[in-house]
Chains A and B, each alone.
Chain A
């Protein structure tokens, strides 16, 4: 008898797995997080090392994509300068929903050591951030842990975009409130 044939009459019953749509969708989303290759500075080298042979992120379903339209998660690795900030926002807007952002390294988190006229003091001034990841530069293990945290976060939230909490990005009082998910 062929291996794939199932005896429906036996105690195991019908080959049906019961689940909810949320779990199924989140299972797929969390296990195929495709990041955008968005290397800005030193952290980009560690991000490349994460994708390379020793740390091998492919095993986690994390395959770097060069286009924002194919990416799910934006790993902002490095210093974001004011000149570049416009592009960061545009790339974030170009990504399709659902999308997540990991801010990698001190510079992306808070501006880090570069408290100067040219540097954005934290990328959360430009785009909403899901995971902040400390270090200068963070080790590949740290990035790996951040991705696992993000996977946990995705598994918790509802697959229905309308039910997800709306993040108020700007915290500004005024007529124009950014509705960002």
Chain B
């Protein structure tokens, strides 16, 4: 039978591995339970030690940035949900904020909308961090933590569902504000959830893990990123703060209400996975602290939810139904889309994973001329080829878990 040249022969694109010694090349992923999506790693091993690591990305490339060039600004918003799908609202918000800066209405967002947005961002941060601790522990081998953390995460998702109706892909933020006020009883549920998360973090996750001998052996001095490496590879978020650099965009370039809120930025000098794990735990406490402050702030706000900018944003439903001009405006905005002024904008925000920013170039058309998403996970994936070298094969999943990458935003 003639040998059919099928696709099963392994091929490594653009890879040149020196194979004159007794090293072994193994393929990790893209379907691997610890690959956090679709990471493919090609690892060269000397015994059990990694000599060379090559992260291969693009298995979840969906052309989201290109889609933005053919969609109106409001149309594109639900697509941003699918970037970092563990904390959707942080993407919605980063995109909405960039468009608002472009339109010049970022100072006109009503106070109540700002409070609700900040609340949703922090709820998403906790959901994302709980997801991190669940999957990270599962990768390392602590299955019960996964089950416990998903329990609290489900309550957080119930909150999001009560607000916007979706569990995972929220689209809860609009350009110019938020679409809905908080439903009745939501704040009480939120306060109860904050207490529950605080309690469970302290008495379940930290009690199970922080002083756990196996957990410490698996995480301490594993995945060490020096301060210089973290800075030169473009790490942000906890990856950077875990290496002793105090940098949080919520403090450096405050957006929304973060300059009015009282919270701390935890920093660790350990530079290893254990230090980063401690930071995630600490950030959960800080987020609940922020949420409690926001609950009191909410009660002092007026009923306005959307910015008043008739050129770009539709009026309220009552006005559309009663005023002719508002209806005409709404018709134009729905059929043609808003036309921001010419110009370009880049706005960074602190997503649960790090610096998430959108760059938008506008040619005064209803479609963005170019949209670029600066996703933190992309940079952290690149870092893998540096920090995996010299580690043992058993630590590879720990390090991947510790970087907390999500492939929706790596490949876009």
The residues in B between 201 and 236 inclusive whose CB is less than 8 angstroms from any CB of A are none
Which one of B29-37, B241-249, B266-274, B351-359 contacts A?
Answer: B29-37
**A114 contacts partner chain B, Cβ-Cβ < 8 Å:** yes
A95-130 CB contact bits vs B (8 Å, 1 = yes)? 000000000000000000110111100000000000
Given contacts A41-B407, A42-B169, contact A118 B154 (CB under 8 A): no
**A72 contacts partner chain B, Cβ-Cβ < 8 Å:** no
B60 to chain A, nearest CB (A): 6
Give CA–CA (A46, B60) in the complex, Å: 17
Give CA–CA (A41, B148) in the complex, Å: 23
Contact: A38 with B31, CB < 8 Å? yes
Contact: A66 with B33, CB < 8 Å? yes
**B67 contacts partner chain A, Cβ-Cβ < 8 Å:** yes
Which one of B47-55, B79-87, B281-289, B382-390 contacts A?
Answer: B79-87
Contact: A39 with B37, CB < 8 Å? yes
**B339 contacts partner chain A, Cβ-Cβ < 8 Å:** no
Contact: A83 with B59, CB < 8 Å? yes
Q: Which residues of the partner chain B approach A91 to less than 8 Å between Cβ atoms?
A: 31
**A137 contacts partner chain B, Cβ-Cβ < 8 Å:** yes
Contact: B38 with A40, CB < 8 Å? yes
B67 to chain A, nearest CB (A): 6
Give CA–CA (A137, B170) in the complex, Å: 10
Residue A41 contacts which of B37, B78, B157 (CB distance < 8 angstroms)? B37
Question: A interface, how many residues as a size bin?
Answer: 35 or more
The residues in A between 62 and 92 inclusive whose CB is less than 8 angstroms from any CB of B are 64, 66, 78-79, 81, 83-84, 86-87, 90-91
Given contacts A53-B154, A90-B8, contact A137 B62 (CB under 8 A): no
Contact: B151 with A53, CB < 8 Å? yes
Q: Which residues of the partner chain A approach B157 to less than 8 Å between Cβ atoms?
A: 49
A146 to chain B, nearest CB (A): 17
Give CA–CA (A79, B150) in the complex, Å: 23
Q: Which residues of the partner chain A approach B326 to less than 8 Å between Cβ atoms?
A: none
Contact: A53 with B147, CB < 8 Å? yes
Residue B151 contacts which of A54, A81, A90, A139 (CB distance < 8 angstroms)? A54
Contact: A81 with B61, CB < 8 Å? yes
Residue A46 contacts which of B8, B32, B168 (CB distance < 8 angstroms)? B168
**A136 contacts partner chain B, Cβ-Cβ < 8 Å:** yes
Contact: A41 with B31, CB < 8 Å? no
Contact: B59 with A45, CB < 8 Å? no
**A52 contacts partner chain B, Cβ-Cβ < 8 Å:** yes
A137-168 CB contact bits vs B (8 Å, 1 = yes)? 10100000000000000000000000000000
Given contacts A49-B150, A118-B62, contact A41 B169 (CB under 8 A): no
A78 nearest in chain B by CB position: B60
**B311 contacts partner chain A, Cβ-Cβ < 8 Å:** no
B407 nearest in chain A by CB position: A41
Give CA–CA (A84, B31) in the complex, Å: 9
Q: Which residues of the partner chain A approach B168 to less than 8 Å between Cβ atoms?
A: 42, 45-46, 137
Give CA–CA (A48, B168) in the complex, Å: 12
Contact: A48 with B150, CB < 8 Å? yes
**B408 contacts partner chain A, Cβ-Cβ < 8 Å:** yes
Contact: B58 with A83, CB < 8 Å? yes
Residue B60 contacts which of A53, A84, A87, A113 (CB distance < 8 angstroms)? A84
Contact: B60 with A79, CB < 8 Å? yes
**A37 contacts partner chain B, Cβ-Cβ < 8 Å:** yes
**A33 contacts partner chain B, Cβ-Cβ < 8 Å:** no
A111 nearest in chain B by CB position: B62
**B196 contacts partner chain A, Cβ-Cβ < 8 Å:** no
**A44 contacts partner chain B, Cβ-Cβ < 8 Å:** yes
Give CA–CA (A84, B63) in the complex, Å: 14
B143 to chain A, nearest CB (A): 10
Q: Which residues of the partner chain A approach B61 to less than 8 Å between Cβ atoms?
A: 81, 83, 118
Contact: A119 with B147, CB < 8 Å? no
Q: Which residues of the partner chain B approach A114 to less than 8 Å between Cβ atoms?
A: 62-64, 67
B7 nearest in chain A by CB position: A86
Q: Which residues of the partner chain A approach B67 to less than 8 Å between Cβ atoms?
A: 114, 116
Q: Which residues of the partner chain A approach B148 to less than 8 Å between Cβ atoms?
A: 53
A and B contact pairs by CB, cutoff 8 A, 13 listed: A36-B31, A38-B31, A42-B168, A42-B169, A42-B408, A49-B154, A53-B154, A66-B32, A84-B30, A84-B60, A86-B7, A113-B82, A137-B85
Chain B residues within CB distance 8 Å of chain A = 7-8, 30-33, 37-38, 58-64, 66-67, 78-79, 81-82, 85-86, 131, 134-135, 146-148, 150-151, 153-154, 157, 167-169, 407-408, 411
